[in-house]
Structure 1
Amino acid sequence: MMKQQPVTVKAEKMQRMKHNGKVYLRVGVNYANGGKKVLSDPGFKVQLKSAGGSVFDLVPEDETGASFKIQPGQKRTIYYLAEVPSKLKTDNMMMQFMLEDEALKMTLPVKTFKLPSVTADAPAADYAVKKISVNHLMIETQLKSASVYAENDTGKWSLQFRVKNLGEKSLKLPAYELSIHTNEGYSIPVNAKALANVTLKPLEEKLIDLRADVPLHMKQNMLQLQLTEPAVEGKISFPTAHYKIPYAQEGRSHLGSENIIENDHGTFGVKLSSYQRLPWGDGDQIAARISIRNTKALTVQLPELKAQVKADMRDISSTAQIVIPNDQTTLAPNETVELYVLANVPYSYNFNQLRIELQESSGEDVTRFLSLNTRAVNNVVNQVAAGDSYLIHTPGKKAEVRERMSTVYQDSSSNLIYTELEMASQETRQSMQAQLVAYYKTPDNEYYEAEANQSSVKTSPKGKNLVTVWSKLPLNVNTSQLVLYVGEGVAGRKLTDLEEESTEVIGSINTVGLALNPRAIQPATNLGNVELFPYKLSITRGEARLSEGKDMLNTVIHYNLIRNGDYETGEYEHKLIMEIIDPNGQSTEKTLTLGTDLFIGNNKSYSITVNNNFRNNVSGGGVRINLYDEFQGRRMLIGSQSYPIIYEENQVNKPDSD
């Protein structure tokens, strides 16, 4: 009985502990209030008595005075501490409750308990659950995962610590201090900022990422994680719990293999789907495609993420970008989102390992969402044979792409390789097509950045886009064996929006190697069917008229001009040059804009007047019309034909036949 109430008291355990060079015995006493009233502090003085007769005062570790309250039907363990000599034998020890008798002015024993044997303060086994009490409420703790990798002379440890509130009330955790204890006797602090200000609702659990650096000359397989309540002045703070840290080297991600990870948002299957390293500007850009699958039965809201990227020892995070092509922010059960991590490296920098970590931020707090590392850094680019097509699978921009034609515009200083791509929409709604980004690659692994021109308007279902691509090449480059590396341009965190003129392209994804089949354009021997795709010009008739005694030669062509309306195009960058060579051999040129100077339609006509010294030496013959395709200042003859001169005599000067 305590204070006229039935109370069951049991000495549960005794621990031997060290702190600042001193030795303490810590006794746990369980009180079970069987009464109908709140049990307050009974006012007992508690003593520890050794088998040899030595007596030590036991002082409550926490509960004392007004804070000692046990509700009816409640059980609670109170811990008592006593400082003892380091060589004290702990066999057959007793604990006494003493109460002062005011009448006798003596302290008399009330109850004596035989104490259990001293138990070692053993750490929780590998990944074992350990329950601890916080403000009389139980929480469940667990070192859920641990892994390490070596960097220089340091073991870089990643730990995941789980806490769960087992009580029926919300609970704010103490600002625990964390440290790693080594077999050599060192204590290495662990940043426990993530444990500060954590409040758990009933049955709520939280996963906390921890990191620590342990010198490699210490035994990495003999480490323990120690959890300690924050220090309070005048109070001895013993470790709340120890956890063995299982030794496990960090796992590697292999292309196409899914690994399961867990964080505060859920459980996910994570896969490195592809890796590419390609030219970008004066360096290289790596593009890692990562698939994240929601394995749980609840929809998950994805946080906004940023990327930390290391290539071997070089931190390239300052150049890192995350691209989510379809702006997806939620994941339904078993749904997958694909995102891309882009980062830039010098093109001469070779590395064997890539490490990517996706993080979420809240104010100054940074939490890891997932991490992966891989040695699969061989460039994997899907190769498409000449004449074949490839598919763009990006949602909202699905399309089939093929080479329509490639040719070379030549001059004395360089060659200009020119390619037309046909991009046919595979979407069932009007959609903006992907903006293509391209490089020409030679057999010697030289890359030449290309310009691309395409439509900035939406494409109808099954509609087609004509994309023109070109680049200047040195004369010594063999243009017959070029491969066009073409990908989807990205800006910010998404694919490039062709409607936004000011958008700066910062990279590309899903690049393929499209083998080309360049061909020389053979000039047509007549102008009845001349192609400047998507236009087709047919000159049905032509003649030049010269009046006797005049120096003016008037040439007229009659033509049909049609435009293939199946294609959306960007700005038409070709010019049609019409050259007229008169009977004196003099050349006259006219630059014509299709659709403006030459109108679209049938039975149209266009005239050019040439002035020369015709009156003295021309009375017949013909003119020759050459048509050139001019692109970026370079010309290519596409057709030629001669037309007669109709000589009109002056009837006034002609003598009568009478």
Structure 2
Amino acid sequence: MKRIDRSRNQRSVLLSVALSAALMCTALPTAYADGGAAPVAAAASLGRVDLSGSSFVEVKRVNMLADQNGRIVTFTLSVTNNDTKDISFVDYWVRLMTKSGAQFTVKLMPQDKDKNTIPAGSTKELSFYSTVNEGTSLTDLKIRVIKWDFSVDSFERTLGEVEVPANFTNVAAAGAALETKLAGTNTKLTVSKFTLGKNEKYSLPAITLVLENADAHSLTVPAYQFAVRAQDGSMYPLEAKGLKDLVVTPQDKKEVTLSGNVPVSVPTDNWQLVITENVTDLKRNIPVAAFQLPAVAIQDGAEAGKEVQFTDEHGLYTAKLNGIYRLPWEDQDIISADMLIANKGTSDSLPIPQLSGYFLLDGAVKVEAKVITPAKVLGLSNGAAVGMQMAAKIPYTYEFSKVKLVLQEKTTDEKTVDVLEFETPAEVMNVPIAEATSTYQLEDTGYRSQFSIDNVKTYEGKSTELLAAQVVVENKEKRFANIAKLLAHFRTADGTVYPATVAEVKDKVGPGEKALLTVYSILPKGVDKSGMNVLLGEAVTDGKLGSDGDKGTGSTDTGTGTSAAAAGADMYIKPFSFWLPQENKDVKTPLQDIKLGPYTMSISKVGTTMDIEKGQLDLKFDYEITKDLTKHVNVDGRKLVFELNDTNGLRVIEWSTEMNKFEPQASDTPATPQSSLRVGKYKEFKINLYNGDLLWKLSFLKQYDLNLYEEFQGHRRLIATMKNTWFALSD
């Protein structure tokens, strides 16, 4: 009896000090290689041992992990009690041994230490671990189930053995789903995505692991460790993004993004993902699951329009190059790369990556680039994207055949490493020119808008002419917003470039409302404008978009038509271009529906009078000015000029008014004498004109032309005309 008590006490001690299992891999898909036998996976059952006529034990989830402390083997016994009374597992035990007979100490996992009883009609799982010697492999092992029996000399009776098959694998095939238990919860694990970036020092694996809760209660995912296992067995840790405090509710899925660095000298063939859990009491990691990773092409270069991925300590990013463009800038050119950085495949937000980089021309000339990121974007939520630009300047005379964009990022130890490369031939660097009737969508957060060309106007000067394109901008934001600040150039068919000025709208524009921007440039007379286009882009100052920066942006109307650089910006990005439409040069006669965007003016009952005593000539007329309230327009610098030109050539008399005074003034009252034109409908508006010696030429006066001009920056365009008899009233 004493011997029996001591033996049972020893078994109780073994149960109390055992530690929990972590490898919970189940059936892997069948795969055949070279026509051989299908490998036996870490299946639902490697074998069965009967405990009685109706109760039995199955061996499941066998795994091995090698680390600095040696090799640890874990396995699980599923005990099914189909009897009518409880089974006490204290009466049983398990041995781990090699097929040649060498035996290893087996211990029960901590979470199973109290599973001493398997009630009738139920099934329980018990997990075990054992440390084996360096030369032992899984297929060398077998598991023996015993029952304590003190009637025999060894005190134990063998009930049966389960061998690990010679063609056994504990690694899930590429693309396979593993149905397992995590923290006691039935869970399906899948590697949904695997990409491999590269820089000069490291291969950059990025793995998306999907956890699907197949149980009826929530899963709180333990703090697992992840690593890439190379073909030679070397392990390289991965950082898990989205794992901390992750809870997966029943029937829901969550993604965990894994990323890390593997020296480029390590071959990338046959990599595996290994998942482990650190058991504090054991002071070592135990295996949870392993996946064969598919072969992938290393992302050591990409082209425009192709999505590629890169990782850093924050997680997995997707990058796409929309295009690399060569843009005119005074006596230089700008090389501008337009990219989209997105957060795809993670359930968490990501910060905007702090990238730097350079352009490599013809594989030899390195040009450092500035990075421009919109200031209104703080981070990337799941599925979100942000535009990012890189730009540099080169002499406009420099020729090259191909350009490579190299993206870089600083590591946590402040080292700069290459992240991605994009390459494109020089001949595709031209900005596509859209039809004059088309639109362009700007997707910058906070400045989402649609651009189109409304019309083109030419104003004449003595030795120059002013070309103006009216650009319509529609606010696509859901709130009042500023219009993005632009820089512009006109380009002729032969490639000549003329810097342009943008008369911006300074007020915020409401949702769905429009602004009318005037893009203009003063040209020498005789410039061929057939086949001309306008090139536009967002202004940049000190690496910030003009809309976000504190300094001038080059979009401000300087009133001189000077270059963009003289107006404050140092470059521009995100270019887009329109062909200029055919100019409408119609001159209104009679003086009805005269377009002065955003105003429309009509004039009637025109007449002149002469006060001989005062020597004063007056022009009188009725008029109506209406305003298109759906458009915001900057009319600074624009004038309406009235010209009376005697048909005998005796005299030309002018009067002008500022169009920015068309709006009613705060000081206006019904009794206020009207000295300038206003929005509204008025009768007998009178203009006093200087007459000089006209009084003495009355006998020669017969008819005159009343010409209306729109004047802008000292240049004029005729917009309306009529003939009338001196001192008579027109219809």
- The match for 1:575 is 639
What residue number does 1:116 align with? 163
Percent identity of paired positions between Structure 1 and Structure 2: 11
**Corresponding residue of 2:197:** 149
* 1:605 matches 2:714: no
Q: Which position in structure 1 is the counterpart of 2:499?
A: 448
**2:106 match: secondary structure:** strand
Listed as ranges, the matches of 1:266-305 within 5 Å are: none
Provide the rounded CA distance (Å) in 1 between the counterparts of 2:429 and 2:82: 71
Whole-Å Cα distance in 2 between the matches of residues 415 and 138 of structure 1? 78
Which sections of structure 2, spanning at least 5 residues, go unmatched? 1-10, 13-50, 309-317, 360-367, 396-401, 409-419, 540-546, 548-554, 557-568, 663-674
TM-aligned CA deviation for residue 587 of structure 1? 8.9
Deviates more, 1:282-291 or 1:110-119: 282-291
The answer to whether the 8 A contact 1:484-1:516 is kept is no
Structure 1 position 472 matched with structure 2 position 516: no
Is the 2:452–2:473 Cα contact (8 Å) retained in structure 1?
Answer: yes
Q: In the alignment, what sits opposite 2:365? A: none
- In structure 2, the partner of 1:636 is 716
Residue 93 of structure 1: CA displacement? 5.8
Tell me whether 1:197 sits opposite 2:261 in the alignment: no
Give 1:246 shift.
0.8
Q: 1:197 to 1:591 in 2, by over 3 A?
A: same
After superposition, the Cα gap between the structure-2 partners of 1:390 and 1:98, relative to the gap in structure 1 and judged at 3 Å, is closer
Secondary structure of the structure 1 residue equivalent to 2:529: helix
Q: Does the alignment pair 1:76 with 2:125? A: yes
Look up the SS of the partner of 1:228 in the other structure: strand
C-alpha displacement of 1:126: 0.9
Asked whether the equivalents of residues 438 and 469 of structure 1 are also in contact (C-alpha less than 8 Å), the reply is no
The secondary structure found in structure 2 opposite 1:42 is helix
Classify 1:239/1:575 alpha carbon distance in 2 versus 1 (closer, same or farther; 3 Å): same
- Rounded to whole Å, the distance in 2 between the matches of 1:64 and 1:466 is 72
Provide the C-alpha distance between the structure 1 equivalents of 2:204 and 2:138, rounded to a whole number of angstroms.
42
Q: Secondary structure at the match of 1:238?
A: strand
> Are the aligned partners of 2:451 and 2:471 in contact in 1 as well (CA < 8 Å)?
no
Structure 1 position 159, deviation (Å): 1.4
Output aligned runs, 1:12-91, within 5 Å.
18-20=66-68, 22-23=70-71, 26=74, 28-35=76-83, 41-42=89-90, 44=92, 46-48=94-96, 55-62=103-110, 65-66=113-114, 68=116, 70=118, 72=120, 73-84=122-133, 86=135
Q: Does 1:556 align with 2:618?
A: yes
Distance 2:593 2:58 in 1: 105
Equivalent in the alignment of 1:320 = 373
Q: Report deviation, 1:542.
A: 2.8
The 5 A counterparts of 1:214-233 are: 214-233=262-281
Correspondent of 1:439 among 483, 488, 502 = 488
- Tell me how far apart the structure 2 counterparts of residues 92 and 467 of structure 1 sit (CA, whole Å): 80
Query: Taking structure 1 as reference, are residues 449 and 180 closer, same or farther at Cα in structure 2, changes over 3 Å only?
Result: farther
- The structure-2 alpha-carbon separation of the partners of 1:563 and 1:432, relative to structure 1 and needing over 3 Å to count, comes to farther
Q: What secondary structure sits across from 2:197 in the alignment? A: strand
Q: Give the AA of the match of 2:114.
A: A
For 1:212 and 1:174, locate their aligned partners in 2 and report how far apart those are by CA, in whole Å.
20
Q: How far apart are residue 123 of structure 1 and its match?
A: 1.7
TM-score (norm 1): 0.64
Aligned-residue offset at 1:84:
4.6
Shift in alpha-carbon separation, 1:233–1:173, aligned structure 2, 3 A:
same
Residue 100 (structure 1) shift:
8.1
Provide, for residues 423-448 of structure 1, a one-character-per-residue CA deviation record: whole Å limited to 9, x for no partner. 999xxxxx999989673421326363
The 1:106–1:129 alpha-carbon spacing in structure 2 relative to 1, beyond 3 Å, is same
Mapping of 1:247-258 within 5 angstroms?
247-249=295-297
Whichever residue aligns with residue 201 of structure 1, its letter is T
SS of alignment partner, residue 559 of structure 1: strand
Farther off after superposition, 464-473 or 505-514: 505-514
1 CA distance for matches of 2:61 and 2:640? 98
Q: Distance in 1 between the 2:328 and 2:223 partners?
A: 47
Residues 231 and 271, structure 2, Cα contact 8 Å, conserved in 1: yes
| Corresponding residue of 1:483 | 533
Looking at structure 2, the residues matched to 85 and 625 of structure 1 have their Cα atoms a distance apart, in angstroms, of: 108
Shift of 1:338: 11
Using a 3 Å threshold, how does the CA distance of structure 1 residues 455 and 135 change in structure 2: closer, same or farther?
closer
- 2:175 aligns to what SS in structure 1? coil
- CA distance in structure 2 between the aligned counterparts of 1:88 and 1:621, rounded to whole angstroms: 121
**For residue 208 of structure 1, what is the aligned residue in structure 2?**
256
Distance in 2, matches of 1:568 and 1:472, equals 26
Q: Do 1:544 and 1:644's aligned partners in 2 also have CA atoms closer than 8 Å?
A: no
Evaluate the alpha carbon distance shift between residue 305 and residue 62 of structure 1 in structure 2; reply closer, same or farther with a 3 A threshold.
closer
Task: Tell me which residue corresponds to 1:513.
Answer: 578
5+ residue gaps in structure 1? 260-269, 294-301, 331-336, 357-370, 426-430, 490-495, 497-503, 647-658
- Aligned residue among 381, 389, 395 for 1:343: 389
| Closer, same or farther: CA 454–107 of 1 in aligned 2, 3 Å | same
**C-alpha separation in 2, matches of 1:466 and 1:93:** 80
Q: Is the Cα contact below 8 Å between 2:465 and 2:525 reproduced in 1?
A: no
Secondary structure of the structure 1 residue equivalent to 2:261: strand
Name the residue aligned to 2:432. Answer: 381
CA contact (8 A) 2:277 2:288 kept: yes
